[in-house]
């Protein structure tokens, strides 16, 4: 099904790998778990694969497998997003302390 | 419950057992307070302040009338004891280990006497620990006396007229007073070393930024945190080591003590003679005989150009703050013995039991 | 219906951009939340685009599957307790891995004459996806206490695991080499599932986060491999982003626990060891160690911080650094006060001497009686080398030698961070139950070092 | 060139003009040195050290024989002046502005006299600036005297017996002595405020971590960095403001001075009376009459419970370091006037011109 | 001869990897040099691969051109003085831009029926490459003082520049729209060259580094565009890496000068302003301001540092931070001493009081006479708020009011960094020629702030 | 000549751009100039284009233009590398101070 030269895909893969490393290299410990959860959500992109499989399935086997894949992938996407969001709830910026408060 | 505070009569004693601040707290807590006129004057507490705080000011003659509690600093004179009713609660420094006569007098009179120096050194009793509070003042004052007597400036200064080297100070005995002396000398800029026989002290000395002088002698520590006496061998070794090291120092402050025993002799005459003229020794242990052989308790002597300060009762020289701290210690003990103005002695209690030195024969 | 591959590609490129930005944001405390939203937007674009591709059918199945997945996801994520979050991450990660494996399986079945690239990708996707799925399920079960959280070890574990993994790989190679029978891939999947289970079983509950992060990275790789199967750039890139970020994150997490990844994964082999979470009280309450970075975030986002110094600050001679930390926080608008217990240290006024040396203004120092009423309104108390003076036993436990001593009520604050070197007791020689309080975390190490690390971490925020 | 160092004869003067360290430098640089026996004893410098440093120790009687230079601390007595040969170079504090008689005596005798207090305050002369070096010692000592007399501890301490509030200290006149007093009081833990009439001083006070007390009076600064006298109006305003603020302080140290003039009266009796009993005033300006109306120069008096210390010549109480600094000042001036032991006076030179107070009529 | 595109692609992927690593290394002081070597290796792989591609001919031309280019490059880079480095960067950047434009031109000529993608790429490559080439040449000439370094401004400059750029773009669009005549592209190139010249002319010498960085980023983009023309991934990726990195670097450089890029580029329009280099002495010597980051690197890589504090440290109450800075350096193995001038500050012993307060051990303090012989062996002297006590006029200038005062011989050290707020004089009210010494750089700002920034910068290394 | 779908090239371009940003985001000021110079060297990769053009040139015009491009690109590569190397000469790691030295 692939229509790109493998080497191009590898180039892309390499760039993505390097970027993945660089982009999170300064994460504070406090964010480790939320970041993990966010990344977990992102690999839910496998849902694209699930849709492609299920959407083009013509035999029962593929339909069944595709259906299962679709259920799992959707759960990953939806659950992953909400879990991350809840975790990050605690990072709401605290209001700036008012001046009088600081002085007392 | 009537508490009376006499003016101290011991020579040189400027402190007062209760200060107005504490008086007002006690007055609000069920006690009736009577203070002798001028009791706080020498420490900087005016009669007006006492009156404002809720005490009744009385003459000496009327003082002990109906007194249920007497709060003092120094032990009462024989006359005073005679004026106390049997069963009176007496709180003060009573020298239970070194003044058997005075204690006997109290016992005969049937006084319920509590000695501030016998407060056990347990966590719960820290607010009553007058030995600590007064030692704090003594340690601070010792450094000031030294700084005032030595011909040198404590801090290093680099000036257009050359550099002044910092004073090198040695503190021997790093208990409460010694630690405070270390801290104060360091504040003033001296280079401070310290020595103690208890092994736990090294870390404490270093926690104040001073260095520990190792004289190669290590003693024991009792459960109460006090040191035990050294063996004669160890003592000789310590003296020899000190004699070796002492010429390096401009200022020596000694605070070594063993409870109930005369102060250990640490600095022999020969060591003093090796010090540079103009150096100073402050012997905080002078009261119990002194750590230095040259010390004359209560006096400042010079020996070969070295000034040896044996002034006793250093806290009394800082009477304001010393009284303030002591007063809180006394009040804490009083509230422990008679909470809310009602005597409630619990002889099971460690503090009550250990602090009491005499009680009326058939008493509570 | 879109049929132009350029349009599809461009839309997927938007998704990729969103994911990169999402990861970037997620690694900064200020933007983290926004990061999740950006990622969500990217995902929506990807899903919508894919659904719109010419030739997609089976709508009913897609919708039903989507609804089921959504319900599971929303309910799971919404109803779970905050403390159970890690297991939710584990399970959602697992289903992602499962999805990847299933897609691979479908393609295996579907593609008539797969080329080498496809076969390799399919095998990899199936293998990695299955390991991730099974491992995540075990991790979930452990954390959820469906099975025992303690490491499960047995003799020969090592050998068995190697055999299973070797088997899975061998069949995978066979498949690549041309064994086109369907059962070859089933064998790969089966053995991979077994390996996933075996692999996670011996790991203790405290180490689970590292393992979950590793499984997460694996799922990313599986997704990426699926991308190769389907020739989908968006899958390749997104999967690999997660694969790389997840790997780095795994390393960072292990480092934050002062362990190597190898130690986490294989530490239990051969020897049952105590959980890394620290000492454990008899009643099951544990001491929780923390890292300077975590404390830094707590402090930087606090409104009011109280510093309670003790003898340990003196021993470490950390006073100058403590003052600097306080200054730094004040600059950021945090209110900072010092709580001075009357007998902190080893001599009267010990803390005063040191803090004066460090030039802390007297007006910032508060006596115990003054400050005690303020603890309940305090976000974080930083206990620096103090022990006895914060021990609630003095209030609660009449049998304690320090019973009756007034203490600093640090345990009334919203959270407490204790800086000391070990679990050793202080002067009074007694344990401190404050350290078992769920609100308390311990930052172990010399106080000076720890404070310096805190300063650096706050500046890095 | 023969340089002689007499033992100081002024009452209470413990310092010595040259210390062994300086002697050995001079001896190496072309000077011949004679030191009176026991000249340094009171400051802690032994005769042996002088001998080792290369000085010849002589009796008083033989001291002035062939002396070309005399180095002193205090002005010479009439007898001593008589013993000097005409043309002798004399270096010391000679009080040129306040002791016309003494100067006249020197002039009559034909002495080539240089007054240490007249060293111009220019950059190049800083190493000779004895006023600064001695003021440094005085400022430090003033704080020690205060700390020793006050009934309170300087630092804040939070203890089991309650919290001790820090002493609040006020330094008036923040010249060299005042700044050193600020620094020392801060070292000891006091909360320090300071005041001076010269506007540049505010920043200097703050550079020591103390706060500037604004009394609303600002004076002028001369080219030499000294203050000018205030107008009577300003003086009244300053007194009133001080009276208002002074009850806040436990310790007051005054160093205000105008060169050649009596010390400005800053603290009226009424202000002293508003202070708390037990407070202390150290009047460093006592020598020129004192900044406080209660001050009795040379004495310690009590007024309504407030101790007012008018001790003069504070540097002499720290004779070791004070002598060391002074000695380097003297040596620097000597080397300027007679480099390498050869008199080479350059009357164009600002230092030589301004420091010289008398010279022989037909002299070099 | 390689003909398999996969092999070529893989080799190019090696190049890309090398370049990414090279950039990463180049941005860390520790690895910078290695970075350049890695980049070089990547370049060699790319060149060798390209030469080996099936169908490459014209060997003689290639070799001759390569030799000429190499000789020019080596001779130019090797013979130039260290101080002339920036202009070398400019000119080598320019030739790169020129090469990109020429490649585009050749392709324009060569490709028979270019698609939209090709035309766009060709036009962009030619346009950007030409601007970069011409701009770089002007930058080079200014720095090399072939033309005057000062901003060259004239009325209507704005309008003219806009017109020229507009013209270039218009013809470019025409070319894309289908005007296939060769001269259209020549016009684009010609106008772009003109714009490059006009654009750089009004910018002053002090701002040149920022402009060169911008032109550098542009060349990267031109190379990337060339990659689209040739369908070469390695060109696309490498060019874009430089384009992005160069853009960020331009922003960072402008920020380090406390300017915005817009201000740098267009600041001169309308008004001739003073060079950013700071005050200028009559004899042409200038005061050079520096940044905390630069000083941090100097300090961190020094062997021996002497700190000379003065009244300014007292005013700023920076003593605690100074001690911390010294501690930090010592931890890194730098030898640190304090040089205390006898009259530093405003009272005898002023520095002692403060440094004792900050707990600097007495053993680190050295009197002037002790330390003066050590300055010649010192790498960096950090003068913190001291002025008069470091003024060489006291040695050299008999007319100076401070002539004859012994001073700290800080000017004998390898380099001097002065921390003060402004060029204002100190107590003596006189200028300090130390500040004009080429070895001296000034870090302006409150001493406490500056020291805190230094600490942060050293920790970030 | 291009044989890849434009959108793939754009994907690659985007990844490279992001990577370029991330990879240098922590550079200290001191390294600004060397980094600029190093980046300058890297865009010398245009030499690949020059070789392709010149190596496949068949008419004179292309040969001339290609030759010029080749000269310029080579100068960029070679000069850029050496300039960077010289600049970085000053970052040689200083030898660790010996222990005795530190103590004195
Ligand atoms: N103030 C007085 O006058 C006085 C006099 C005598 C006795 N005491 C007693 O001393 C105690 C004072 O209480 P406190 O809370 O201040 O001290 P503490 O209870 O003795 O606890 C100090 C803690 O600091 C930690 N520590 C030691 N060195 C450290 C370092 N370098 N870095 C980090 N942590 C370090 C120790 O734990 P780790 O070993 O795990 O690091 C220890 O648990 C009270 O029990 C009091 O009664 C006070
Ligand atoms: N030590 C003594 O006994 C004594 C007594 C009297 C006079 N003096 C004289 O004082 C001078 C002392 O020399 P010095 O080198 O220490 O001081 P200085 O020559 O007075 O120079 C101090 C420098 O510090 C800078 N500065 C002030 N506040 C600052 C801040 N917050 N942050 C950064 N920089 C700050 C000022 O420049 P900016 O304004 O540009 O920041 C000023 O140039 C000598 O001339 C000496 O003769 C000394
Ligand atoms: N738990 C509490 O609440 C509490 C309260 C106050 C004090 N303490 C402990 O009690 C200890 C003793 O306090 P103190 O100051 O009243 O003791 P102290 O006055 O009895 O003795 C002073 C010091 O002299 C030392 N010393 C004795 N013989 C010596 C010798 N030969 N050479 C050198 N040093 C010698 C002792 O070790 C002690 O440190 C303190 O250090 C402290 O740890 C505990
Ligand atoms: N250039 C140099 O080398 C050098 C050397 C030493 C001192 N100086 C300068 O000379 C100044 C004066 O030094 P000094 O200590 O010998 O001065 P001083 O002893 O003559 O006077 C002490 C201080 O009293 C202050 N004063 C006068 N009248 C006052 C009043 N009514 N109220 C309050 N304060 C009053 C003066 O301003 C001065 O600061 C110093 O501050 C210093 O700046 C310069």
Q: What is the pLDDT of residue F101?
A: 40
**For chain A, give me the number of helices (H) and strands (E)?**
5, 0
Q: What is the pLDDT of residue E279?
A: 40
How many Cβ atoms are within 10 Å of E376's Cβ, its own excluded? 10
Round the average pLDDT of chain E to a whole number and report it: 86
pLDDT band for E149, please (50, 70, 90 cuts).
low
**What tens digit of pLDDT does each residue of D68-113 get?**
999 999 999 998 999 999 899 999 999 998 889 999 999 999 999 9
Nearest CA to ligand 3 atom 15: B175
Q: Do E359 and C320 touch (CB under 8 A)?
A: yes
Least confident window among B83-97, C55-69, C399-413: C399-413
Instruction: Give the position, in ligand 4's atom list, of the atom nearest the Cα of D195.
Output: 33
Name the residue among D126, D127, D207 with its Cβ closest to that of E314. Answer: D207
Q: Is A46 a member of any domain?
A: yes
> Is E383 within 8 Å of B179 (Cβ atoms)?
no
* Chain F neighbours, 3+ Cβ pairs < 8 A: A, C, E
The answer to whether the CB of C427 is under 6 A from ligand 1 is yes
Task: Examine the pLDDT at C270 and tell me if it is beyond 60.
Answer: no
- Judging contact as 3 or more Cβ pairs under 8 Å, the answer for F and B is no
The answer to whether the CB of B255 is under 6 A from ligand 3 is yes
Q: Do F12 and A16 touch (CB under 8 A)?
A: no
Name the residue among C314, C349, C394 with its Cβ closest to that of B136. Answer: C349
How far apart CA C108 and CA B87 sit, in angstroms, is 103
How many CB pairs below 8 A link E and F?
405
Burial of residue B49, with CB atoms counted within 10 A of its CB: 0-12 exposed, 13-18 middle, 19 or more buried:
middle
**What tens digit of pLDDT does each residue of D145-167 get?**
999 999 999 998 888 888 888 99
Q: How many Cα atoms are found within 13 Å in the side-chain-facing hemisphere of C117?
A: 17
**What residues make up the domain containing F55?**
33-91
> Is C339 within 8 Å of C322 (Cβ atoms)?
no
Q: What is the pLDDT of residue E161?
A: 86
**What tens digit of pLDDT does each residue of F80-98 get?**
999 998 888 766 544 444 4
Which ligand lies nearest to the CA atom of residue E342 in the structure? 2
pLDDT band for C282, please (50, 70, 90 cuts).
very low
Domains of chain B by start residue, with CATH? 2-118+319-358 (3.40.50.720), 135-312 (3.40.50.720)
Q: What is the pLDDT of residue E280?
A: 40
Task: Examine the pLDDT at A93 and tell me if it is beyond 70.
Answer: no
Q: Give phi and psi for C111, each to the nearest 5.
A: -70, 135
Q: Catalytic one among D126, D151, D207, D364?
A: D126
Ligand 4 centroid to D226 CA: how many Å? 5
> With a CB-CB cutoff of 8 Å, which residues 145-174 of chain B face chain D?
145, 147-148, 150-153, 155, 157, 159-162, 164
Asked if D99 is an active-site residue, the reply is no
Instruction: Give the position, in ligand 3's atom list, of the atom nearest the Cα of B234.
Output: 31
Task: Examine the pLDDT at B35 and tell me if it is beyond 90.
Answer: yes
Q: What is the pLDDT of residue B227?
A: 80
How many Cβ atoms are within 10 Å of D270's Cβ, its own excluded? 12
* Chain A neighbours, 3+ Cβ pairs < 8 A: C, E, F
What's the gap in Å between the CA of A53 and the closest CA on chain C?
A: 7
**What tens digit of pLDDT does each residue of D263-321 get?**
999 999 999 999 998 899 999 999 999 999 999 999 999 998 899 999 999 999 999 99
Average pLDDT score over residue span C284-299: 79
Round the average pLDDT of chain A to a whole number and report it: 80
The answer to whether the CB of E422 is under 6 A from ligand 2 is yes
pLDDT band for E269, please (50, 70, 90 cuts).
very low
What's the gap in Å between the CA of C154 and the closest CA on chain A?
A: 31
> With a CB-CB cutoff of 8 Å, which residues 409-438 of chain E face chain B?
none
How far apart CA B165 and CA D325 sit, in angstroms, is 11
Q: Is A1 a member of any domain?
A: no
**What tens digit of pLDDT does each residue of A64-76 get?**
999 999 999 999 9
Nearest CA to ligand 1 atom 38: C421
Ligand 2 centroid to E312 CA: how many Å? 5
Q: What is the pLDDT of residue A92?
A: 53
Task: Examine the pLDDT at A91 and tell me if it is beyond 70.
Answer: no
Q: Catalytic one among C321, C388, C431, C437?
A: C388
Q: What is the pLDDT of residue D32?
A: 93
Tell me what ipTM this predicted complex has: 0.65
Least confident window among C133-142, E105-114, E157-166, E353-362: E105-114
Q: Which residue of chain E has the CA closest to F49?
A: E103
pLDDT band for B200, please (50, 70, 90 cuts).
confident
Question: CA angle at residue E260 from E259 to E261, to 5 degrees?
Answer: 120
**What tens digit of pLDDT does each residue of A22-62 get?**
888 777 766 788 889 999 999 999 999 999 999 998 889 89
* Chain D neighbours, 3+ Cβ pairs < 8 A: B, C, E
How far apart CA E277 and CA C443 sit, in angstroms, is 47
What's the gap in Å between the CA of D100 and the closest CA on chain E?
A: 31
Whether A4 and chain F come into contact, CB under 8 Å, resolves to: yes
Task: Examine the pLDDT at A21 and tell me if it is beyond 70.
Answer: yes
Q: Is F71 a member of any domain?
A: yes
**What tens digit of pLDDT does each residue of B216-272 get?**
888 888 777 788 888 888 888 888 999 999 999 999 999 999 888 899 999 999 999
Average pLDDT score over residue span D113-126: 90
Q: What is the pLDDT of residue B362?
A: 57
Q: Do A30 and C23 touch (CB under 8 A)?
A: no
Name chain A contacts of E233, Cβ cutoff 8 Å: 8, 11
Whether C374 and chain A come into contact, CB under 8 Å, resolves to: no
Q: What is the pLDDT of residue E274?
A: 37
Q: Catalytic one among B68, B118, B132, B335?
A: B132
Total of domains in chain A: 1
pLDDT band for E202, please (50, 70, 90 cuts).
confident
For an interface test with F, give the residue of C13, C38, C234, C241 to mutate (most F CBs within 10 A): C13
Pocket-testing residue among C381, C426, C447, ligand 1, by greatest number of atoms within 8 A of Cβ: C426
Which residues pair with residue C304 across a beta bridge?
C335
For an interface test with B, give the residue of C346, C349, C352, C402 to mutate (most B CBs within 10 A): C346
Instruction: Give the position, in ligand 1's atom list, of the atom nearest the Cα of B132.
Output: 3
Average pLDDT score over residue span F21-48: 85
> Is B352 within 8 Å of B128 (Cβ atoms)?
no
The answer to whether the CB of E420 is under 6 A from ligand 2 is yes
Q: What is the pLDDT of residue E284?
A: 47
How far apart CA B175 and CA B136 sit, in angstroms, is 10
Q: Is A67 a member of any domain?
A: yes
Share of chain C above pLDDT 70, in %: 92
Asked if B226 is an active-site residue, the reply is yes
Q: What is the pLDDT of residue E114?
A: 67
Whether C271 and chain F come into contact, CB under 8 Å, resolves to: no
Least confident window among A27-41, A74-88, B54-68, E313-327: A27-41
Round the average pLDDT of chain C to a whole number and report it: 86
Q: Is A100 a member of any domain?
A: no
Question: Can you give chain D as a three-state secondary structure string?
Answer: CEEEECCCCCCCCCCCCCCHHHHHHHHCCCCEEEEECCCCHHHCCCHHHHHHHCCEEECHHHHCCCCCEEECCCCCCHHHHHHCCCCCEEEECCCCCCCHHHHHHHHHHCCEEEEHHHCCCCHHHHHHCHHHHHHHHHHHHHHHHHHHHCCCCCCCEEECCEEECCCEEEEECCCHHHHHHHHHHHHHCCEEEEECCCCCHHHHHHCCCCEECCCCCCCCECCCCCECCCCHHHHHHHHHHHHHHHHHCCEEEECCCCCCCCCCCCECHHHHHHCCCCCEEEEHHHHHCCCECCCCCCCEEEECCEEEECCCCHHHHHHHHHHHHHHHHHHHHHHHHCHHHCCCCCCCCHHHHHHEEECCCCCC
Q: Catalytic one among D226, D234, D245, D265?
A: D226
How many Cβ atoms are within 10 Å of E374's Cβ, its own excluded? 17
Least confident window among A98-102, C224-228, C410-414, E134-138: A98-102
Share of chain E above pLDDT 90, in %: 41
Task: Examine the pLDDT at C112 and tell me if it is beyond 70.
Answer: no
Q: What is the pLDDT of residue B254?
A: 96
Q: What is the pLDDT of residue C275?
A: 36
Average pLDDT score over residue span D232-242: 88
**What tens digit of pLDDT does each residue of D35-63 get?**
999 999 999 999 999 999 999 999 998 89
Ligand 4 centroid to D359 CA: how many Å? 29
What's the gap in Å between the CA of B155 and the closest CA on chain E?
A: 8
Name the residue among E321, E359, E459 with its Cβ closest to that of C357. Answer: E359
Q: Is A65 a member of any domain?
A: yes
The answer to whether the CB of D177 is under 6 A from ligand 4 is yes
Task: Examine the pLDDT at A103 and tell me if it is beyond 50.
Answer: no
Q: Is F26 a member of any domain?
A: no
Q: What is the pLDDT of residue C180?
A: 65
Q: What is the pLDDT of residue B102?
A: 92
Q: Is F12 a member of any domain?
A: no
Q: Do D203 and E356 touch (CB under 8 A)?
A: no
What's the gap in Å between the CA of C383 and the closest CA on chain D?
A: 18
Whether E32 and chain A come into contact, CB under 8 Å, resolves to: no
Q: Catalytic one among B121, B186, B187, B265?
A: B121
**What tens digit of pLDDT does each residue of C48-96 get?**
999 999 888 889 999 999 999 999 999 988 888 777 788 889 999 999 9
């Amino acid at each position: 099904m692939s229509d790109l030269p493998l080497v191009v895909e590898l180039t892309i893969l390499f760039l993505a790998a390097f970027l993945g490393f660089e982009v999170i290299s300064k994460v504070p410990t406090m964010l480790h778990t939320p970041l993990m959860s966010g990344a977990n959500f992102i690999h839910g992109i496998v849902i694209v694969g699930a849709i492609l499989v299920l959407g083009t399935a013509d035999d029962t086997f593929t339909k069944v497998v595709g259906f299962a894949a679709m259920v799992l992938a959707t759960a990953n996407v939806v659950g992953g997003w909400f879990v991350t969001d809840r975790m990050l709830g605690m990072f709401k910026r605290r209001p700036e302390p008012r001046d009088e408060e600081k002085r007392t | 419950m009537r508490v009376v505070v006499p003016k101290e009569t011991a020579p040189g004693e400027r402190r007062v057992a209760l200060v107005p601040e504490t008086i007002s707290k006690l007055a609000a807590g069920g006690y009736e307070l009577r203070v002798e006129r001028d009791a706080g004057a020498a420490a900087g507490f005016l009669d007006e302040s006492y009156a404002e705080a809720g005490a009744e000011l009385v003459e000496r003659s009327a003082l002990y009338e109906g007194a249920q509690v007497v709060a003092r600093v120094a032990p009462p004179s024989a006359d005073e004891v005679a004026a106390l009713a049997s069963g009176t609660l007496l709180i003060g420094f009573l020298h239970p280990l070194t003044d058997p006569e005075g204690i006997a007098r109290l016992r005969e009179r049937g006084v319920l006497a509590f000695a501030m120096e016998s407060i056990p050194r347990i966590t719960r009793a820290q607010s009553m620990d007058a030995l600590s509070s007064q030692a704090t003042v003594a340690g601070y004052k010792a450094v000031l006396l030294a700084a005032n007597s030595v011909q040198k400036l404590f801090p290093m200064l680099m000036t257009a007229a050359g550099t002044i080297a910092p004073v090198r100070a040695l503190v021997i005995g790093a208990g409460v007073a010694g630690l405070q002396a270390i801290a104060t000398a360091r504040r003033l800029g001296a280079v401070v070393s310290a020595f103690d026989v208890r092994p736990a002290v090294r870390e404490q000395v270093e926690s104040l930024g001073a260095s520990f002088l190792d004289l190669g002698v290590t003693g024991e520590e009792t459960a109460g945190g006090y040191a035990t006496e050294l063996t004669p061998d160890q003592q000789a070794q310590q003296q020899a080591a000190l004699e070796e090291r002492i010429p390096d120092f401009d200022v020596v402050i000694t605070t070594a003590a063993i409870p109930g025993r005369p102060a250990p002799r640490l600095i022999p005459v020969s060591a003093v003679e090796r010090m540079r003229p103009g150096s100073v020794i402050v012997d905080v242990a002078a009261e119990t005989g002194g750590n230095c052989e040259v010390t004359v308790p209560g006096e400042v002597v010079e020996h070969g150009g070295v000034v040896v300060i044996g002034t006793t009762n250093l806290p009394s020289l800082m009477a304001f703050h010393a009284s303030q701290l002591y007063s809180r210690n006394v009040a804490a003990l009083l509230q422990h013995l008679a909470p809310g103005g009602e005597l409630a002695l619990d002889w099971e209690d460690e503090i009550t039991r250990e602090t009491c030195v005499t009680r009326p024969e058939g008493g509570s | 219906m879109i049929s132009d591959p350029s349009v599809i590609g461009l839309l997927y490129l938007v998704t990729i951009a969103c994911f990169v930005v999402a990861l970037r944001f997620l690694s900064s405390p200020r933007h983290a939340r926004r990061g999740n939203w950006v990622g969500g937007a990217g995902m929506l674009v990807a899903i919508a685009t894919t659904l719109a591709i010419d030739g997609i059918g089976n709508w009913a199945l897609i919708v039903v599957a989507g609804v089921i997945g959504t319900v599971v996801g929303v309910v799971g994520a919404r109803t779970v307790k905050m403390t159970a979050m890690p297991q939710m991450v584990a399970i959602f990660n697992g289903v992602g891995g499962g999805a990847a494996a299933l897609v691979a399986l479908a393609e295996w079945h579907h593609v008539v004459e797969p080329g080498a690239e496809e076969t390799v990708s399919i095998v990899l996707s199936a293998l990695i996806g299955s390991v991730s799925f099974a491992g995540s399920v075990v991790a979930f079960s452990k954390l959820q206490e469906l099975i025992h959280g303690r490491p499960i070890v047995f003799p020969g574990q090592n050998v068995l695991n190697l055999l299973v993994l070797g088997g899975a790989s061998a069949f995978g190679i066979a498949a690549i080499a041309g064994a086109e029978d369907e059962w070859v891939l089933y064998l790969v999947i089966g053995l991979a599932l077994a390996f996933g289970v075996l692999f996670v079983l011996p790991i203790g509950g405290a180490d689970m986060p590292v393992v979950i992060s590793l499984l997460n990275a694996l799922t990313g790789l599986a997704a990426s491999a699926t991308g190769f199967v389907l020739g989908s750039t968006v899958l390749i890139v997104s999967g690999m982003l997660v694969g790389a970020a997840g790997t780095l994150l795994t390393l960072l997490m292990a480092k934050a626990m002062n362990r190597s990844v190898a130690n986490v994964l294989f530490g239990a082999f051969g020897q049952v060891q105590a959980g890394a979470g620290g000492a454990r009280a008899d009643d099951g309450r544990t001491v929780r160690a923390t890292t300077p970075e975590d404390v830094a975030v707590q402090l930087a986002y606090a409104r009011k911080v109280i510093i309670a110094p003790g003898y340990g600050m003196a021993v470490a001679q950390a006073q100058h650094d403590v003052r600097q930390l306080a200054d730094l926080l004040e600059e950021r608008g945090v209110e900072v006060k010092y709580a001075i217990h009357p007998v902190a240290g080893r001599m009267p006024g010990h803390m005063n001497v040191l803090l004066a040396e460090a030039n802390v203004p007297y007006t910032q120092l508060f006596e115990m009686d003054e400050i005690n009423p303020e603890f309940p309104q305090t976000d974080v108390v930083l206990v620096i080398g103090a022990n006895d003076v914060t021990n609630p036993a003095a209030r609660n436990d009449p049998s304690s030698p320090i019973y009756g001593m007034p203490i600093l009520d640090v345990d009334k604050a919203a959270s407490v961070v204790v800086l000391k070197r070990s679990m050793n007791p202080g002067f009074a020689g007694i344990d401190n139950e404050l350290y078992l309080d769920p609100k308390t975390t311990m930052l172990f190490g010399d106080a000076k070092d720890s404070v310096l690390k805190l300063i650096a971490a706050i500046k890095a925020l």
